[in-house]
Each structure stands twice: as C-alpha cells, then as structure tokens.
Structure 1
Amino acid sequence: MSPEFLLTSLIVVASPGTGALYTIATGLGRGPRASVVAAFGCTLGIVPHMAAAMLGLAAILHASALAFEAVKWAGVLYLLWMAWNTLKERGAMRVSGDPDPRPPIAIIVHAVLINILNPKLSIFFLAFLPQFVAADEARPLAVMTALSAVFMLMTFAVFALYGLFAAAVRDHVITRPRVLAWMRRGFAAAFVALGARLAVQQR
C-alpha cells in the first residue's frame, strides 16, 4: 500500500463534507456515544459507492444523465430536510441533557443515507481506486477491496475524532442558549450550502 494512497485518502477523508458535518452536529447535539455511532454510519455509507466502483455501476451513473440526476436531487432534498430538522431541533442538533432517546440504528440510517445519496462519491471511487492498482495486478478486485477497507478505517477514525471533539465541548455549548441557537442556524445553513453545491454538480 503506497504512501501516496494513504496521503490522498487522508486528505479526502479529512476534507469537510456532509458526513463530517453530520458527525460533528451529532456530537454537539447528542454526545460522544452518538457521535461515534454517526461516524460508523457515515463509514457504512461508503460501502455502496465502493461496491459500485468495483462492479462498474458507477460508470452507469456517469453515463446516464437520468440516473445521475435522480440520485443527485434525492440527495439535495435529503440535505434540505436535514437543514429543516436541525432548525426545528428534530435532527442531529437536537440537544438534551437526558440520554439520547433515539436508538443507534436511527443515527446510522441518517448517516448512511447522507452518503448514499451523493452520486459524486461513486464516480470519485471509480476514478480514485484504479489509480492505485497496478496494470499487471493478478488479483485487482482483492487489491481494491483491501484499499477500500483502509479508506473506510481512516474515515471512521477521522470522523470519530471530529465527533468526539465536538462532544467534548458540548457542555460549554448547551449552557449557552444563544450560542446553541446560532450554532443550530449555522449547521442548517451548512446543510443548505452542501445541498446547493450538490445541486449544481455535473457528471
């Protein structure tokens, strides 16, 4: 496994995006345990894109304007719904001093959907993974699977760190209602901005 792959993967994983934003918001809103669950869910959300890249399904998204647009607009609508829920204190930024009433599966489902409904991820992996597989590799699928596993481990580790850091400052936030209100608006605006960015993306 090349240093170039590890460095490129780290840059991609650490770059702010919908998954990182959701994990941070969950850490602030619901505490450390929920933030780790969110990080796990975001990592699971990568699996369909990795599989699509390996099976060539991402090429269909790239070639078919209708398929790409359908997935893209579903993602846009989901991000806008996340923004609305954040403002209404029903989403990731619902803050309570009591234990998180939502089961972990609910957090995981939200996290997985955030990543699944981004067609750019499939196309990214279609272009990204093959670069690190030698042309004469006898078992390219096995190598791509190993690279994907490393990428997922890095994703979970980085996102969990983001979420745990957010959870660490949670007590300082929930005791300041004005700060919490502005943070909630900020996260809602960020979800809208990410939705707008996804809306203008082309194949």
Structure 2
Amino acid sequence: MFTVSSIVMYMGATVLLILIPGPDLIFAVTQGAANGRRAGVYTAAGLAAGNVVHTLAAALGLSILIKTSPLLFTLFKIAGALYLFNLARKSLKYRKSAIRPASDENRNERGLFVRGVTMNVLNPKVAIFFLTFLPQFVNYDYGFAPLQMIVLGLLFIMLSAIIFGLLAYFAGVFSSRLLEKPRVQEYANIAAGSIFVLLGIKLLTTSP
C-alpha cells in the first residue's frame, strides 16, 4: 500500500507540522503548565483522539462540505470560538480556586479528555488540513484511497498524541513546584484564560 520512502516522508512532514505552535499544541501545553502533568497528558490525548473524527470525515469526503460551504465553515468557527471563550470565562472566574480538585480526580481527567476532543473537533481548520494533507500521500495506483487515508490519519493521531503528551507532561513537571503557591495558581489561571481568549479570536478571524 505504501512504500518505505513515502511513509518516512509522511512521518517526517507530520512531526514538523505537529511541532508548529498551533491552537491544539498551545492548549495542551497550557493545560499541563496550569493544571499539572496528568492534566496535560489527558488533554493531549483528547486533542489527538479528536483527529479520529477529522480522519473519517476526510476519508468519506465530508470535509469537502466545510471547505466549500462558507456558511458551514462559519458555524464551525463560531462554535469553536464560543467554546474557547467559555473556557476562558471559567479560568478567570475561578482563578483563585485550587487548580486541581482533590475529589473525583478520575472524573476531572475524563473531563479534560473530553475538553480536548471537543476543541479539536470544533476547529474547522483541522478538518480542512486533513482533507488537503492526507491525500498528498495516498497511492492512487494501489486503490482503496479512503482506507489509505484512514491509515495515514491513525499515524498522525499516534504521533500527535506522543508529541503533545510529552510537551504537556514536561510543562507540568516544570510548573508543579510553582503551582504549590496560591498566588502563582491565580496567575496561571489568568494566563490560561487569556490564552483561550486569544485562541478564540484567532479562530474567529481565520478564513477557509
């Protein structure tokens, strides 16, 4: 289905693209720095898992609707921005609260995973990226293009989960001692809220 050289080229391009600071990467590192390494890893896993939706959409051709319909693109964009603004509101509203709740930790981690999935799925730029990036590495002579795109998408998801997870983890490690101080926790929440607002504005101002 794929040659060794094409897979190596694809994985190299994927790693470089993942490392480019974008909303997902910034979001994962911010969660790790503000809430600790476990929070960062769960958020990174959610962001990576959200790409499953985009992979399937690209393989089935559904992402074309977003690329060709200004109305649908705008609706996705607004929904994603509103979600980010809501996260910013919560971060600023509870900025003096302890960042990591002591009770129901597993439930909190599941919430971070869902948050990562939601942010990724509601980003129309990711859908268009998958639609335009994956087909470049499909071997059309072999056939089964949708299956090839799914395989390529799964490789992308695996690499993004590893890279996002590592960066978010180490962001949590380096900030863990600082976050033991209430004042630093408050500043971290304010910084996180500000970043969410900037990401939301950036999403609103993007074009197909």
Partner of 2:3: none
Displacement after TM superposition at 1:149 (Å)? 1.1
Partners of 1:94 and 1:137 in 2: CA distance: 55
Q: Which runs of 4+ in 1 moved over 6 A?
A: none
Q: Are positions 1:34 and 2:33 aligned together?
A: no
CA RMSD of aligned residues (A): 2.2
Displacement after TM superposition at 1:195 (Å)? 0.9
SS at match of 1:54: helix
Q: Are positions 1:80 and 2:98 aligned together?
A: no
Q: Are positions 1:118 and 2:123 aligned together?
A: yes
Is contact 1:30–1:100 with CA below 8 Å preserved after alignment?
Answer: no
TM (norm. structure 2) is 0.86
Structure 2, unaligned runs of 5 or more: 1-5
Partners of 1:72 and 1:170 in 2: CA distance: 32
Displacement after TM superposition at 1:140 (Å)? 1.9
SS at match of 2:46: helix
* 33-42 or 106-115, larger mean C-alpha shift: 33-42
Partner of 2:200: 195
- Mark the CA change 1:176 to 1:12 in structure 2 (over 3 Å): closer, same or farther: same
Q: What is the aligned counterpart of 1:185 among 185, 190, 205?
A: 190
- Cα shift readout 1:169-188 (whole Å, capped 9, x = no counterpart): 23322134444333322222
Is contact 2:84–2:199 with CA below 8 Å preserved after alignment?
Answer: yes
Q: What is the aligned counterpart of 1:61 among 58, 66, 69?
A: 66
Is contact 1:18–1:191 with CA below 8 Å preserved after alignment?
Answer: no
Q: What is the aligned counterpart of 1:139 among 120, 144, 159?
A: 144
Partners of 2:98 and 2:159 in 1: CA distance: 27
Partners of 2:59 and 2:113 in 1: CA distance: 24
Q: Are positions 1:163 and 2:168 aligned together?
A: yes
Structure 1, unaligned runs of 5 or more: none
Partners of 2:49 and 2:60 in 1: CA distance: 18
| Counterpart residue type for residue 106 of structure 1 | G
Q: Are positions 1:24 and 2:32 aligned together?
A: no
* 48-57 or 133-142, larger mean C-alpha shift: 133-142
Q: Are positions 1:12 and 2:26 aligned together?
A: no
Kindly, what percent of the aligned residue pairs are identical?
Answer: 32
- Mark the CA change 1:97 to 1:171 in structure 2 (over 3 Å): closer, same or farther: farther
Partner of 1:96: 100
TM (norm. structure 1) is 0.88
Partners of 1:171 and 1:69 in 2: CA distance: 38
Displacement after TM superposition at 1:65 (Å)? 1.4
